[in-house]
Each structure stands twice: as structure tokens, then as C-alpha cells.
Amino acid sequence: MIWNKIESARREDIEALQLKRLQETVTRVYSLTPFYQDKFKELDLTPNDIKTLDDVKKLPFTTKKDLRAHYPFGLFTVPMSEVVRIHSSSGTTGKPTVVGYTQADMDVWDEVMARVYTMAGANSDDIVHNGYGYGLFTGGLGFHNGAAKIGATIVPASGGMTDRQLMLMRDFKATILAATPTFALHMAEVAKKDGVDYLEKYKLKAGIFGAEPTSAGLKAEVKKAWAIDYHEVYGLSEIIGPGVSCSCKHSDLLHVFEDHFLFEIIDPKTGKEVEDGQRGELVITTLTKQALPLLRYRTGDITSITKEPCECGRTMLRMESIVGRADDMLIISGVNVYPSQIEHVIANSSDVSLNYLIIADKKGHLDKLEIQVEVEEDIDFENKELLEKIKKELQHSISNNLYINVAITLEPPHKIERSMGKAVRIIDKRK
Ligand SMILES: [Zn+2]
């Protein structure tokens, strides 16, 4: 099932619509936002210069810094009387980034989330257990309103209280789980305490997971632990919230809702477009946003895109699951390495756990990468021969997958310090 026929439209029709909407957006910000007026002046640019989709490259970038500098409402293009909703990022330092929605923006958000649910096979017969946090974070209410749009039954569970959530999921017979993948995995760990047949108590058929970069290994674990279809959703509050793209049942690639979001992939260092299919930083221009339209927003997320058609019939371009953050990229002896690639290898090894630390350093003039990782609970830490074997195998998989040499230090379980917030996984001593 496809929610909206635009998702399977001919590419030339999609692109014609994108160009029309891009021109409207450019005209809108040029006439209403002093910030963009100044930028256009600097670049000696007017809206009339945007004649093709390719001309998007002439436009100025917008960054998170720009949003913070205009805190809270400085980049809004409508009076507050037309703003019906505010959300904000969970920024750990300083002022958060604030985003606003008109009713038309809310309608677009509901629409793209309805596409997400439909892609995950959900309809009005389904019971959606929403484990995303409700509040200023866009996850909770984004998933809530999308479920309402398709007429599903929504259980607004929000985050936390795992035992209670599991009880509600069992008793209400939830069929769709919406949550972050780490929370879904945590819930499965708790559910497993009920015994080997724990799955029989649940009716879940699919999950829609997102809001954090996820390695293929973690995805596979969530899928297996709940025996469900895994759909990944991508989004960010600056652009709309969840609902920028989502994966269908045919592959891990995420269909982009291109009629609302124009994608570019650039080299984060030079700002230039990368070759088709290459990885780089995702840059998004909103095409229909009313309250807070953004030109060429630098997401900081690393991915690649493809126009290859999908078996499901959708024609909109697809993106790879986020590989990492542009800020997190390590350059080791000239090779670009994202910590998530290392995490993926670790997740695929049965002897080590996902508690790890990556340390980049210099030895003389050479880059050196060390990975400290805890062995699984069932590994005998006194068995030196076994430890040596685990180390060799891990080293081998990493050099095979990432083309770099690493030093591995194995640690006993619970040795690496746990963080209560966002885990610190990388220490770059070269900085
Ligand atoms: Zn598809």
C-alpha cells in the first residue's frame, strides 16, 4: 500500500513539482527574512536566478548556528498568530534550536507520517504503541499525529517505565511499536526475563525506529528480539521532525519524501557536491514549509542517495541509513572512518559486547587507532589463548571492512565506564 500517489509518480513530474516549490520557497524567504536577504545580497543573487533544480547550488547554506543566532523566532516568516506549534531540539549546551509550525506545516507533517505508517504496513486496524518521548522533542507528537491521520489506535506511552510499557503492549495487543532502537532493545531485554516464550505474549508485527544513528548490527538485534519487520524513519526537528524519509519492506534504504524536501549530498570539508552514490553530508532545502522555511540546511548527517527504483513501486530517491555525523568523522592515515562502521563490525562479533571506546592518537607521524571493547559475559577472561583469538578475529574484520589497521584491547565485562546521557565513544587525542 502507498499512501499518496505522488510517492510513485514519474521522476520528471516529481522534479517539476520540486522546481516550482523551490522557486516559491526562495521567493518567500527572500521577501520575508532579513537573514536570507543579506545572504542573497552577499552572493549577488535574486530569486530570478533559480531557473532549474540544479541552481539550488547557488543558494546559501543554513546551519544550526544560524538558527541559534536567531533564537527563538528570528527566522520565522509568519506572525506568531499563524504559528500553532513550537518544538525544539534537545541541545545539550546553550540555547536550543526552536522550530515553529503553521497549520499548513502541521498538515504536511501528518501527511508524511501517514506515508511512514503506510510504508510499515499499518492502517486503521492497528494499535500503535508510541514509546517516543512526548514534549518539545518532535518524536512523540510526530508519531502521535501520524497515527491519528491513518485512523490507527494510538497508545501515547512516551518514554521510560519499561515494565509498565511492556504490560500495556501485552494487554492492549499493540501491533506497531514506535520507539528509538535502543529503547526497543532495552524493552526486549526486560521482556526476555519472562522466559524463552516471551514473544508469544506480544502481537507486534512491525516497528518504526529512528531518532538515533543505528548500525546494521543493532537493527538486526532489535528485529530478532521482537521478531518484527524493521522500518527506519529519518527526520530532524529543523526540517519537520520524524517523517523526512522511511524504509519500506524491500530494503534498508529510506524513501525520501521529495515533494517536501530537496536533498543534496556535499563534501563536508569543501561544500561541493559529491559524485552520485558517494557518501557525504546531507543538505536539505524545505519545499513547503511556511513558518520556518530553510535553504540548504546542513544536517551534519553522513549518508548517500540513489535514484535506483524500488520493488515497492515508489519512485522517490532513497537514502542510506545515516552512517555517522560529519563532526564524528575520523581521518585515519587518509581513510575516512565513521565510528558507526566500527560499531557495526563489533555488533557482528559474537564474543565482544557493544560497550566500546575508540581512541585515535599519533605514534610519531603516523595515525594510530585503538579500540577498547568488553568481551561478552560468557567469555572466560583468564583464557589468554581465547582472548588472543578474539582479538585477531576482530582486527581482521575491521581491516577487511574499513581498510585500516587497529589495535584491540579487550576488557572484562562492565570495565568501560557507562554514561548516563549520550555515550562517549570516541576520544581523539590528536586534537
Ligand atoms: Zn520501496
- Burial class of residue 128, CB neighbours in 10 A (0-12, 13-18, 19+): buried
User: Can the peptide bond before residue 72 be classed as cis, meaning omega within 30 degrees of 0?
Assistant: yes
Give the Å distance between the CA of 184 and the centre of ligand 1: 24
Give the Å distance between the CA of 296 and the centre of ligand 1: 26
Question: Residue 152: what residue type?
Answer: A
% the chain with pLDDT above 90: 77
Give the Å distance between the CA of 214 and the centre of ligand 1: 19
> What is 1-326's CATH topology?
Rossmann fold (3.40.50)
Give the Å distance between the CA of 252 and the centre of ligand 1: 9
Give the Å distance between the CA of 211 and the centre of ligand 1: 20
Give the Å distance between the CA of 117 and the centre of ligand 1: 13
What residues does each domain of the chain span? 1-326, 330-428
Q: Identify which has the larger pLDDT, 243 or 338.
A: 243
Q: How far apart are CA 177 and CA 212, in angstroms?
A: 16
% the chain with pLDDT above 70: 98
pLDDT at 135 (0 to 100): 92
Q: Identify which has the larger pLDDT, 160 or 77.
A: 77
The 3-state DSSP class for residue 315 equals coil
Give yes or no for residue 92 having a pLDDT over 70: no
What are the tens digits of pLDDT across the range 104-143? Answer: 999 999 999 999 999 999 999 999 999 999 999 999 999 9
Give the Å distance between the CA of 249 and the centre of ligand 1: 7
pLDDT at 420 (0 to 100): 55
Give the Å distance between the CA of 5 and the centre of ligand 1: 13
> What is 330-428's CATH topology?
GMP Synthetase; Chain A, domain 3 (3.30.300)
Give the Å distance between the CA of 132 and the centre of ligand 1: 25
What are the tens digits of pLDDT across the range 350-365? Answer: 899 888 999 999 888 8
Average pLDDT over every residue of 156-162: 91
Give the Å distance between the CA of 309 and the centre of ligand 1: 8
Give the Å distance between the CA of 352 and the centre of ligand 1: 34
Give the Å distance between the CA of 202 and the centre of ligand 1: 27
In the block, cell 504496513 appears at 121
